[in-house]
Amino acid sequence: MITDIDSLLYQAEAEYLSHQDLANFKSQIFSLEKRLQIYETIRAKETEIFQNVANQLSSNFSQEPEKIRRALKHWLTILRYCGMAMLSENPLYLKHRILEWLPEQIKAHQMQDLEQNLFSLLQKRLKRILNSEQFSILQPYLEQAEAALLR
Amino acid sequence: MINVADLISESSLPGNYFAPDAYVQGDFESGLIENRQGRRLLALPDTLLKGLYRGLASEVGPAAGMVLYNCGCKWGKNFFRRFSEEVSNYYQKPVEQMEMIELIQCLKQCWKAHGWGIIEPNFSYYQQGFLVVKVKHSAFASTVESAEKPSCYVEAGLLSAFFSELSGTNLHCIQTSCESLGASSNQFILGLATRLKPAEAMVEERKSHSAIMQSLCQER
């Protein structure tokens, strides 16, 4: 999205933007506003979201508190990067900054079951915190993370 | 019960320090590139590297490999120091306190960000006293011309110094396969020089990596 706006800005150097370009620009700005709201919600409710997930995980995997802490740290980081990737509409940002970084660590610690469980709980929690439209905007980035880390 | 607020406040949650789009910064106008800590990076064109290799070969003949290996060792020591500093600063813990998997992941991402290839250390032979390193798409192999044996001497020296510094033990490094000879990857064996000595003759005889590895492990 940032690139789209950039290209419109470059285009405006040579001429006034056409109606279609302006409509595109407005749509980008409108979309950015929605994304900002989602980002702000996730940021403001980070602790609440993950505390709920942590409590449920603790009862599902009561013998493994250290692994739960590690998995929570992973997904705190992943959700933060998903948020920024969503805000800038940049799946490559998510890929390079975290999804090429974590898979082998998750594999080495043999935490796939726990992380899969955490991911399901996190999705459920996010669906309650965000409305359906907001969740659908964030969802592709969560799915991108799931595909890279858990499948 | 786990307190998430404490978890967030007590630990840093960094991602991939060496993500290429973040790590390599360039300025088109000045033509400079630098890393994310503002340290200058140097891009070397293939033509220059090939020229250096040819010049060195014509000046010192068969000793060129040894010269390049020693250059790689010197570079590797400095590289390890810079790598340790940057990684420790970013992840807020000394390299010695990092988990091996995390450190190796850093090395892999670092190798890739610098354009040196896709590196894969293999610790399966740890008990036998060897470390095997595989590198695909090696930038070092792409500049080798008309070699008759594995010739990525700078890369071997670099690996030798890096893992020597990391382990605190002097490790020698021998290349057993080379992309410049049509192999699917560069492969290197690291270990004590005395243990690796027999491998030198086997490389000259063009034995395969697996045959050399098998022979070295049997000689123990």
Is the pLDDT reported for residue B220 higher than 70?
no
Distance from CA of B156 to the nearest CA of A (A): 25
Residue B87 CB neighbour total at 10 angstroms:
20
Distance from CA of B7 to the nearest CA of A (A): 8
pLDDT in tens, A57-102: 998 887 788 889 999 999 999 999 999 999 999 999 999 999 998 8
Q: Which residue shows structure tokens 């080379």?
A: B178
Contacts B107 to A, Cβ<8 Å = none
Whether A50 contacts B6, CB under 8 Å: no
Residue A18, CA atoms < 13 Å, CB-side half-sphere: 2
C-alpha–C-alpha distance, residues A87 and B199, integer Å: 54
Q: Does B201 touch chain A (CB under 8 A)?
A: no
Q: From the list B1, B4, B101, which residue is nearest A50 (CB)? A: B4
Burial of A45 (0-12, 13-18, 19+ CB in 10 A): middle
pLDDT of residue B155: 95
pLDDT of residue A97: 93
∠ Cα A22 A24 A26 (to 5°):
70
Report chain B's mean pLDDT, rounded to a whole number: 92
3-state class (DSSP) for residue B99: coil
pLDDT in tens, B120-145: 999 999 999 999 999 999 998 888 87
For chain A, domain boundaries: 33-150
End-to-end CA distance of chain A: 28
Report chain A's mean pLDDT, rounded to a whole number: 91
Q: Does A72 touch chain B (CB under 8 A)?
A: yes
Q: What is the SS3 assignment for chain A?
A: CHHHHHHHHHHCCCCCCCHHHHHHHHHHHHHHHHHHHHHHHHHHCHHHHHHHHHHHHHHHCCCCHHHHHHHHHHHHHHHHHHHHHHHHCCHHHHHHHHHCCCHHHHHHCCCHHHHHHHHHHHHHHHHHHCCHHHHHHHHHHHHHHHHHHHC
C-alpha–C-alpha distance, residues B30 and B33, integer Å: 9
Which domains does chain B carry?
14-218 (3.30.1380.20)
3-state class (DSSP) for residue B29: coil
pLDDT band, very low/low/confident/very high, at B115 (cuts 50, 70, 90): very high
pLDDT of residue B152: 92
C-alpha–C-alpha distance, residues A94 and B96, integer Å: 28
ipTM: 0.81
Is the pLDDT reported for residue A3 higher than 70?
no
pLDDT of residue B146: 74
Distance from CA of A30 to the nearest CA of B (A): 27
pLDDT of residue A1: 54
Contacts B105 to A, Cβ<8 Å = 101, 104-105
Note the CATH number of domain A33-150.
1.10.490.20
